[in-house]
Amino acid sequence: MSFALSPDAQKKVKAIKLFVLDVDGVLTDGKIIINDDGVESKNFNVRDGMAMAIARRKGYRFAVISGRYSKVVEHRITELGIEEIHQNVSDKRKKFYEVLEKLGLEAKEAAFIGDDINDMPIIEVAGLSAAPKDGDESVLEKVDFVSRFNGGEGAVREFVETVLKEHRQWGL
């Protein structure tokens, strides 16, 4: 069971058509594992992926905007059927607006979940914002929704599920 949304956040939920996600610390636990051969690995939560699949079947769209590049992320996000994958992004707000323009959406129609100070430029303009419970304190103070879960441990699932439940669309 997720935390209840404030009345203001409940109003914002009604406009949401797109989920924009950060990766490290949101879809993953934030750890970057590199073996002796330089091969990177990350931990993703399968329940986050299930929530994304359910939401996509309901007509919601997804985009990923990450400050780092990782082949692992490319594989996982592609596996989830998400075409808007933007990595190694230095100006996240600019990329956010580019994605919105490409999809014909407004900022108020986008929900964003991020965890660190480099996500603040999107948090400040997205229609609805969220963070995992282990996000940076400045982020936690600013977002509309703080998950009960850490990044990579179901925070995305809880956020997506909360939005869909507000629309009475959760479930298969």
The C-alpha atoms of residue 109 and residue 121 are separated, in whole angstroms, by 16
Q: Name residues whose C-beta falls within 8 Å of residue 25's C-beta, 6 or more positions apart in sequence.
A: 115, 116, 132, 134, 135, 151, 152
Determine the pLDDT at residue 8: 82
What average pLDDT does this structure show over 59-67? Answer: 97
Determine the pLDDT at residue 169: 67
* Other CB atoms within 10 Å distance of the CB of residue 28: 24
Which one, of 60, 54, 64, 48, lies nearest residue 13 by Cα?
Answer: 60
Read off the pLDDT of residues 149-171 as tens digits, 9 standing for 90 and up: 999 999 999 999 999 988 776 76
pTM for this prediction: 0.93
Residue 162 sits at φ, ψ, to 5 deg, of: -60, -45
Read off the pLDDT of residues 108-131 as tens digits, 9 standing for 90 and up: 999 999 999 999 999 999 999 999
- CA angle, 42 as apex, 39 and 89 as ends, to 5°? 90
Q: Name residues whose C-beta falls within 8 Å of residue 43's C-beta, 6 or more positions apart in sequence.
A: 28, 29, 31, 152
The number of C-alpha atoms within 13 Å of 29 and in the hemisphere containing its C-beta is 10
What average pLDDT does this structure show over 137-148? Answer: 95
Determine the pLDDT at residue 167: 72
pLDDT at 172 over 60: no
Which one, of 123, 103, 121, lies nearest residue 111 by Cα?
Answer: 123
Report all structural domains of the chain as residue ranges with CATH numbers, in order of start.
7-166 (3.40.50.1000)
